Structure 1
Amino acid sequence: MANFEYIALDAKGTETTGSIKANDEADAISQLRKSGLYPTQVVPAGKGGVSSAAKKRAKKAQAGNKKTGVGGRVKGKVLMIFTRQLATLVDAGLPLLRGLSVLGKQEKNRVMAGTINHLADSVAGGSTFSESLGQHPKIFDKLYVNMVKAGELGGVLELVLIRLAEYQEKAQKLKNRIVAAMVYPIIVIVIAVGILVFLMAVIVPRFEKIFAEMLGDKPLPAITRVVIGISRWVQDQWLLVLIIGAVLYAGWKVFSMTKGGRVVIDRMLLKMPVFGPVQLKSAISRFTRTLGTLVTSGVPILQALNITRD
């Protein structure tokens, strides 16, 4: 039997280190799990030990954060695949640190690969997995971090990762369904706006000439004069129209970023005939799924409600 040094988390999420005798690395991991510990790193004794490995990874982290793309954002699908793969590796008995190292080498997305490597460096340096995730709020939200923290405290990290993977997969399917349902109305609106602009810029001016030739100085109906007036204004002030449109869009974006503005916009969306029911069902589905996932993972109900609200 050989000696192995390890870094592991106990039931309270506290990091512990030590050595253990086992036939191989898999046997060492199995013994640690049976004793109530969750190993993050297991290495053979006499090869530098875990402390040496941690120092090497820490130096690598300090030198390579910018080059690896740490600090950016990734698509939900990329995060979903990472969570599923990590859950599979951890559930199969692979130490967390080894699993992160494997995924970091395989990941093709530059930002995600850099983030995974940084997570591995942070865990090797002594941080818990949830603390490491909290250093990347643009990628891992409060839901993700708190669920992992609950899994660490309860010693069921592999189960929490599986639940997170299932949650993200269902969320991705729901998002795809919503996008598919909204594509047709958006296309109709875009085409309608395009036709309206074409009428005002091309068709109405031609009819204006025809009316002038046929009727001479006779007055046109009021509604016709209004349409022709709008057409002339659009042709003469097209630059102003673009500027007004850009200002309105920028104002809308700024307004939507405020808490009060978000409430007003959400209420408007819920009252819309086509988008309203879709938005309402989507919000209810996200709320129940998020709250249920948090509670079943061991997060206290009050904290779970606050996370779901955010």
Structure 2
Amino acid sequence: MPKFYYIARNKAGKKDSGSEEAASQEEVISRLQAKDLIVISVYQESKESERGLDDEAVSKARFRPKHYRVGGDDVVLFCRQLATLLGAGVTILKSLEIIKKQVSSQKLANVINDLQKDMEAGLSFHEAMAKHRAVFSELWVNLVESGEASGNLAVVLNRLASYLERDAAFKKKIVSALIYPVILMFAGLGALLFLTIKIIPTFAELFKGFNITMPFLTRVLLSVSFFIRKFLLIITGAMVAGGFLMRKYISTRPGRKNAEKFLFGLPVFGEFYRVLTIERFTAEMSTLVESGVPILYSLEIAEHSVGSLVLGDIIRNVKDDVREGKSLSKPMEKSGFFEPMAVQMVTIGEEIGELASMFKRLNVFYQEYVDTFLARFTSLFEPIMLIFMGAVVGIMVVGMFLPIFQLAQIKQ
């Protein structure tokens, strides 16, 4: 009977390797899975040929840095394909090999190749992924670690894939809803700039031959046009430099936190931004808790991956209170960041043991809120922008024709 060598991990994450005599590779996999082992690879060759299984190789692999960047859609597809293959009983390494041959992104293929090498060197799947922070977020790594520990990696990856797909679709919906208003706004500003730089100066040349006192509105428009034309390069340079400095400042932790506080304080849009951050928090918490991650660990992950420093600080305070034995809902209520309805639903979820379900319901509620807001915003923005543009252009036209009307009255 052929002899197969295998690499696997138990629920505690400890590596287990050895050999089995069996009629086929599938039989070996079935035996290992019956022992609640997570199968990494099964191969029929001399054990000595297996690469990098000594402690030194594992140590080197664990700390070798990676710097690839992969598109979000490619990562989502990778997660779904991997979950499907693992659910069908294919080993991790074999699944990675299959996906690597199919992906269109060479960068993702390079990442998968690195994952294979690191796992063959003895690293667990989540340890190999942790070296690619630009590709796999902390949420990714910790959920995979939870799946490896529980022996339900395929189930956890399916949940993660569903979360990533929903999150990607949600972001695309927001972007697509805002594209038209942004284009309309820039088109309007461009038209105003064209009138100021090109059209008004033409009237200014015409007015030089008029021996009359210009109306106040006309003088203001001519002065604004002259100022913008004279200092256009300086104004443009100042705006570019200001934008660069602002970006540098926001890239720092204090700068980003102050920028978030400013956004939260905006009328109307501040509430929208707050709901967006809570939507992400509820989506992550529902996925984490449903995957069996302990509540304290889930809060730890959400604190760093929710995408908001302000909410991250609130989550850290909530986590500290929960660690002291308090319920999750009490510190959430104390923060003042969450609505009473959200606090009440979390309270009920804790009481009936359905916290993941309640977070999922909250996530659906916040997504519907965002959809409604975007629909109202886009329906109101166009007429408001058109009215504003019409008013500004009307003022400019009146200001330019007032001297002509005044001259006509004098000649009469």
Q: TM-score, normalised by structure 1?
A: 0.88
Out of 211, 221, 231, the position equivalent to 2:225 is: 231
Indicate how the Cα distance of structure 1 residues 303 and 211 shifts in structure 2: closer, same or farther if over 3 A, else same: farther
Match of 1:108 in 2: 104
Q: What count of residue pairs does the alignment treat as equivalent?
A: 297
Does the alignment pair 1:294 with 2:288? yes
Which AA in structure 1 matches 2:51? A
SS of equivalent residue, structure 2 residue 132: coil
Task: Provide structure 1 residue ranges, at least 5 long, that are not aligned to the other structure.
Answer: none
Partner of 2:151 in structure 1?
155
Q: Give the match for residue 218 of structure 1.
A: 213
Distance in 1 (alpha carbons) for counterparts of 2:20 and 2:51: 18
How many angstroms does 1:246 deviate by? Answer: 0.8
Q: Which has the higher relative contact order, 1 or 2, with Cα contacts under 8 A spaced 6 or more apart?
A: 1
Point out the more displaced range, 199-208 or 114-123: 199-208
Aligned equivalents of 1:284, 1:180: Cα separation in 2:
21
Question: Which of 112, 118, 138 is the aligned partner of 2:114?
Answer: 118
2:243 is aligned with 1:246: no
Inter-partner Cα distance in structure 1 for 2:264 and 2:195: 32
Which whole-Å CA distance do the structure 2 matches of 1:28 and 1:83 have between them? 26
Residues in 1 aligned to 2:181 and 2:78: alpha-carbon distance in whole angstroms: 33
The answer to which of 81-90 and 274-283 deviates more is 274-283
Tell me if 1:200 matches 2:196: yes
| 1:190-238 deviation digits (Å, cap 9, x = unpaired) | 1122112111111221222333333x251430x4333322211221222
The answer to whether the aligner puts 1:308 opposite 2:302 as a matched pair is yes
Q: Map Cα deviations across residues 236-259 of structure 1 (whole Å, 9 max, x no partner).
A: 222212211111110221122122
Is 1:78 the counterpart of 2:74? The answer is yes
Secondary structure, counterpart of 1:4 in structure 2: strand
What is the one-letter code of the residue matched to 1:20? E
Secondary structure in 2 matching 1:108? coil
* Higher mean C-alpha displacement, 176-185 vs 299-308: 299-308
In the alignment, the residues of structure 2 paired with residue 213 and residue 271 of structure 1 have an alpha-carbon distance, to the nearest angstrom, of: 52
Separation in structure 1 between the aligned mates of residue 203 and residue 303 of structure 2, nearest angstrom: 55
CA contact (8 A) 2:52 2:122 kept: no
8 Å Cα contact 2:83-2:157 kept in structure 1: yes
Preserved CA contact (<8 Å) 1:32 1:38 = yes
> Taking structure 1 as reference, are residues 48 and 13 closer, same or farther at Cα in structure 2, changes over 3 Å only?
same
Are the aligned partners of 1:182 and 1:275 in contact in 2 as well (CA < 8 Å)?
A: no
Q: Distance in 2 between matches of 1:22 and 1:172?
A: 44
Taking the aligned partners of 2:290 and 2:13, their CA distance within structure 1 comes to 18
Larger Rg: 2
User: Residues 273 and 196 of structure 1: is their aligned pair in 2 closer, same or farther, counting only changes over 3 Å?
Assistant: farther
Aligned counterparts of 1:260 and 1:185: Cα–Cα separation in 2 = 30
1:226 to 1:260, Cα distance in 2 relative to 1, 3 A: farther
Cα separation, 1, equivalents of 2:272 and 2:106: 34
* SS across alignment from 1:294: helix
Q: Please state how far the C-alpha of 1:304 moved relative to its aligned partner.
A: 1.6
The residue matched to 1:5 in structure 2 has which SS? strand
In the superposition, the TM-score normalised over structure 2's length comes to 0.67
Quote how far apart the aligned CAs of 1:264 are: 3.0
8 A contact 2:6–2:42 mirrored in 1: yes
Q: Deviations over 1:65-118 (max 9, x none)?
A: 99xxx6221111010001111111111111101111222222221111101000
Identity fraction in percent: 33
> CA, structure 1 residues 33+126, in 2 after alignment: closer, same or farther (shift >3 Å)?
same
| Deviation string, structure 1 residues 249-295 (Cα, Å, up to 9, x no partner) | 10221122122322332344345567545433332221101111112
Q: Counterpart of 1:299 in 2: which secondary structure?
A: coil
Q: CA deviation at 1:9?
A: 0.6
Following TM superposition, the consecutive aligned residue runs of length 4 or more in structure 1 with deviations greater than 6 angstroms are: none
**Contact in 2 for aligned 1:71/1:111 (Cα 8 Å):** no
Quick one: which amino acid aligns to residue 72 of structure 1? Y
8 Å Cα contact 1:11/1:37 also seen in 2: yes
1:213 counterpart SS class: coil
Q: 1:48: which partner in 2?
A: 46
Maintained 8 Å contact 1:3/1:22: yes
- Bigger mean CA deviation after superposition, 264-273 or 293-302: 264-273
Where 1:127 maps in the other structure, the secondary structure is coil
Using a 3 Å threshold, how does the CA distance of structure 1 residues 273 and 206 change in structure 2: closer, same or farther?
Answer: farther
RMSD of Structure 2 on Structure 1 (CA): 2.4
User: Which amino acid in structure 2 is aligned with residue 127 of structure 1?
Assistant: L
